[in-house]
Amino acid sequence: MKVITILGSPKKKGKTAKALDLFEEKIVSKGGIVERIHVVDYEMNGCQGCYFCQTKEDKPNCVQNDDVLLILKKIVAADAVIYASPIYGFDFTAQIKPLLDRHLCLVTDFATPNMSSVIKGKRTLLLITCADNSDDNADLVQEIFYRNFAGVLKTNIVGKYIIPFSAAPDFEERAQENADKMVKALLHD
C-alpha cells in the first residue's frame, strides 16, 4: 500500500510530527510504502477562485505555477492519504490550508449534479493534535474535513483521530495508541 502522509505543522519535530512518525513506522512494518509531504518544504499559494481547474478535463490542473500540482498528483497516485495538522485557532494551520483549498483541482463538474472527483473512494484519514480537550478544539476541523473530503471529494474517510492535551506527559503513549488504531482502520477492508 502506497501511503502519502501530509504534515501540516510548521514544526518538523513537533507533537503532530511525532504522532505521524509512529503511524508511519507501523505502516512500514506492515509492508506499506510511505512518503511524507511536509507542507513547509513546498511553495504553495492560496486558491484564486478562478475555476481554471474546472475548465480542463485532465486532472489535476491549475493556472498557478507552484508545487501544489506536484503534491496533488502524488495524492492521486497513492492508495491512501493521511492529513495531519495541529489545531491553531480552532482551525487547520495556515501552512496546510492552501493545499486543502486547492483540492478543488481534483473535482470534476464542480457545483453540478454530476460533481465528482478524481480521488473518489480514496482512503483518507485525519490526524489532529491539540493543546486542550478535543471537544472544544477539534470539532470544527473534523466537520470541515468531513464536508470537504466525504462531501465534495467523495473520499472514503476511514478515521478521524484526535490527540488532545499534547503537552501532557503521556502524549507519546496516547499517540502510540492512536497510531495502532489508525493502521488498523487504514488496512481494514
Residues 13-64 pLDDT 10s: 999 999 999 999 999 999 999 999 999 999 999 999 999 999 887 789 999 9
Distance CA 184, CA 65 (A): 38
Q: Are 117 and 104 in contact (CB under 8 A)?
A: no
HSE of 98, CA atoms in CB hemisphere, 13 A: 18
Residues of the chain above pLDDT 70, percent: 99
Judged on CB neighbours under 10 Å (0-12, 13-18, 19+), 165 is middle
| β-pair type (116-117, 107-108) | antiparallel
pLDDT level of residue 82 (50, 70, 90 thresholds) = very high
Q: What is the pLDDT of residue 173?
A: 97
CA-wise closest residue to 39 among 107, 93, 75: 93
Mean pLDDT of the chain: 95
Element holding 81 (H helix, E strand): strand 80-86
What single-letter amino acid sits at 186?
L
Average pLDDT on 146-160 reads 96
Phi, psi of 123 (to 5 degrees): -75, 125
User: Where do the H-state alpha helices sit in 39-170?
Assistant: 68-77, 97-101, 134-137, 139-145
Identify the CATH class of 2-187.
alpha beta
Cell readout for 149 is 473530503
| pLDDT bucket at 136, cuts 50 / 70 / 90 | confident
User: Is the confidence at residue 189, as pLDDT, over 70?
Assistant: no
Could you tell me the CA-to-CA distances from 108 to 27, 121, 123, 145 in Å, in that order? 31, 14, 19, 19
Give dist(CA 140, CA 33) in Å, integer.
31
Percent of the chain with pLDDT over 90: 89
- Please give the backbone phi and psi of residue 2, each rounded to the nearest 5 degrees, phi first: -95, 120
More confident residue, 133 or 47: 47
Lowest mean pLDDT among 93-97, 175-179, 184-188: 184-188
Per the DSSP assignment, residues forming a β-bridge with 128 are 85, 162
pLDDT, position 83 = 99
Per-residue pLDDT band for 93 (boundaries 50, 70, 90) equals very high
Instruction: Give the pLDDT of residue 40.
Output: 98
Are the C-beta atoms of 69 and 38 separated by less than 8 Å? no
pLDDT for position 123: 98
What is the structure's pLDDT at 54? 92
**pLDDT band of 137, cuts 50, 70, 90:** confident
